Chains A and B, each alone.
Chain A
Amino acid sequence: MDKVTRRSFVAAVGAATAVPAAALLSPAAHAAGRPGTETTYLFFNAAEALFIEAACERLIPADESGPGALGAGVPNYLDKQLGGAWGAGERLYRSGPWQPGTPTQGYQLPFTPAELFHVSLQAVNRDLAAHGMLFNEMPGEAQDEYLKSLESGARDLDGVPSAVFFDMLLKMSVEGFFSDPVYGGNRNMAAWRMIGFPGAYADYFEAVDRRGMRFEREPMSLAEDGHGHVRMREDIPASL
Chain B
Amino acid sequence: MVQRLKEVDVVVIGVGMVGSIVAKELAAAGYTVVGLERGPARFTVPQFQSPAVHDELRFSVRKALMQDSTRETVTFRNLDSQVALPIRRWESFLPGTGLGGSMVHWNGQTYRFQANDFKLATGTRERYGRNFLDPEVTIQDWGVTYDDLEPHYDRFEYLLGTSGKAGNIKSRIQAGGDPHESPRSREYPTPPQKELFQGALFRKAATSLGYHAFPQPSSNLSQPYTNPEGMKLNTCVFCGFCERHACEHYAKSAPQTIILPVLLANPNFELRTGCQVQRINLDSTKKRATGVTYIDAVGREYEQPASLVITSAFALNNVRMLLLSGIGAPYDPATGQGVVGRNYSYQTISSVAAFFDEDVVINPFMASGASGTVINDFAGDNFDHSGLGFIGGAYIGAVNPHGRPILYHPTPPGTPAWGKGWKQAVVKHYNHTVMLSIHGSSVTQRQNHLDLDPTYRDAWGQPLLRMTFDFPRNDLKMAVHVTAKAAEIGKAMGAKQVAANPRKGPYTITQYQSTHNTGGAVMGDSPKNSVVNRYLQSWDVPNVFVIGASAYPQNASWNPTGTLGALTYWAIDALTNKYLKNPGQLVPA
Contact = CB atoms under 8 A, between A and B. Distances in A.
Interface string B439-452: 00000000000000
Residue among A61, A68, A103 with the highest chain B CB neighbour number at 10 A:
A61
Interface in B236-254: 236-241
A187 B184 CA distance: 52
Interface stretch (A12-20, A27-35, A45-53, A204-212): A204-212
Contacts of A197: 365, 403-405, 430
A207 B197 contact: no
Contact of B456 (A95, A107, A223): A95
Interface string A70-93: 000000000000000010011111
Nearest to B64: A91
Interface in A151-181: 151, 170, 174-175, 178-180
Contacts of A202: 50, 54, 237, 239-241
B193 to A, nearest CB: 9
Interface string B37-52: 0000000000000111
Contacts of A214: 361
Contacts of B419: 58-59, 61, 144
Contact of B405 (A107, A191, A224): A191
A222 interface: yes
A55 to B, nearest CB: 10
A187 B558 CA distance: 41
Contacts of A223: 51
A213 interface: yes
A92 B69 contact: yes
B50 A106 contact: no
A91 B237 contact: no
Contacts of A99: 83, 85
A204 B366 CA distance: 6
A95 B86 contact: yes
The prevalent SS among residues of B at the interface is: loop
A200 interface: yes
Nearest to B505: A104
Contact of B70 (A91, A106, A180): A91
A208 B237 CA distance: 9
A212 B197 contact: yes
**A: interface residue count bin:** 35 or more
A97 interface: yes
B78 interface: yes
Interface stretch (B108-116, B420-428, B536-544): B420-428
Nearest to B83: A99
Contacts of B174: none
B510 A63 contact: no
A104 B78 contact: yes
A91 B363 contact: no
A63 B424 contact: yes
Residue among B195, B196, B419 with the highest chain A CB neighbour number at 10 A:
B419
B57 A179 contact: yes
Contacts of B488: none
B57 A106 contact: no
A194 B361 contact: no
A180 to B, nearest CB: 6
B477 to A, nearest CB: 20
Nearest to B251: A205
Contact of A170 (B195, B238, B417): B417
A99 B89 CA distance: 16
B405 A93 contact: no
Interface string B470-505: 000000000000000000000000000000000000
Contacts of B196: 208-209
Contact of A106 (B91, B194, B363): B91
Nearest to B508: A104
A8 to B, nearest CB: 19
A77 B410 CA distance: 23
B86 A195 contact: no
B195 A200 contact: no
Residue among B73, B241, B363, B510 with the highest chain A CB neighbour number at 10 A:
B363
Interface string A186-230: 000001101111111011110111011111000000111000000
A200 B54 contact: yes
Interface in B399-424: 403-406, 409, 417-420, 422-424
Interface string B158-192: 00000000000000000000000000000000000
A178 B69 contact: no
10 contacts: A60-B418, A92-B88, A101-B83, A102-B77, A106-B87, A170-B418, A202-B241, A208-B366, A213-B363, A215-B366
Which 5 pairs across A and B sit closest by C-beta, in order of nearness? Answer: A202-B239, A204-B366, A104-B508, A195-B430, A200-B54
Given A65-B427, A101-B85, A207-B366, 20 more contacts: A61-B420, A63-B423, A65-B424, A91-B62, A91-B89, A91-B90, A103-B510, A104-B78, A105-B76, A170-B418, A179-B57, A179-B406, A192-B405, A195-B409, A195-B427, A195-B430, A204-B363, A205-B237, A215-B366, A224-B51
